[in-house]
A and B are shown apart, each in its own frame.
Chain A
């Protein structure tokens, strides 16, 4: 198994300018290798979500360097970054964020359609396969807003997986779920990490969750204090 670096942050600084100039990230440097199941832990306001948005290429106003798949990402054009997000990063958010206008199946397919590597039939098959992993195949034709919170989150994870991303990033993916669903979600992540060698980077403030991951990066006041 090749253990090359998939994500690397070098000396990332981030400032917020309103209402006053405050430094939220201070010289953040770390790297993640293929197959790692990493959690970022810290109290609310320590900058862990901000860091995640920078790592996910959605936030581009920072200083320092970011490499994804050993490729320099900092200062690339926004349409290039869109492509990187589409192809190499899968997202799972705290609030599920499915497209309510579409069915569950379509939600899972949309990033794949956007990438355009497979045709519609192939994608449909692949999307059903991903839904099957999470036991959601029976809900494929429902609208996204007919699902429960836990179900939505499972669909969101299926969507994150559709393009076989290099890394899955999660922003408190279980933060809005009860204990039972939270455990299911964790179970899914764990399974992805062990069975599919999927790289995962999950931001959480839940110490129990963090403890069960392979590696925990602890942040405090914009700094990494252990990793």
Chain B
């Protein structure tokens, strides 16, 4: 089991959910309003006067086998629309109940 944390521009909302559905990831937790900025480039997403756009984030725990396919799909989406901003991070899950 691995945890995937996806931080993305709000405008991606529906497309990301479609990707999760297609990738067979049923469970996830979503944070609709998340502030943040990229480490290298891209506009900050603060929801402020200067930087009005906002991010959302999804934390999903999936089977190891599904991770690569999902990340590839997310990467393709990011490349398609670079200016919006989309990042995903994966780490191990040690225990669940």
Report whether chain A binds chain B.
no
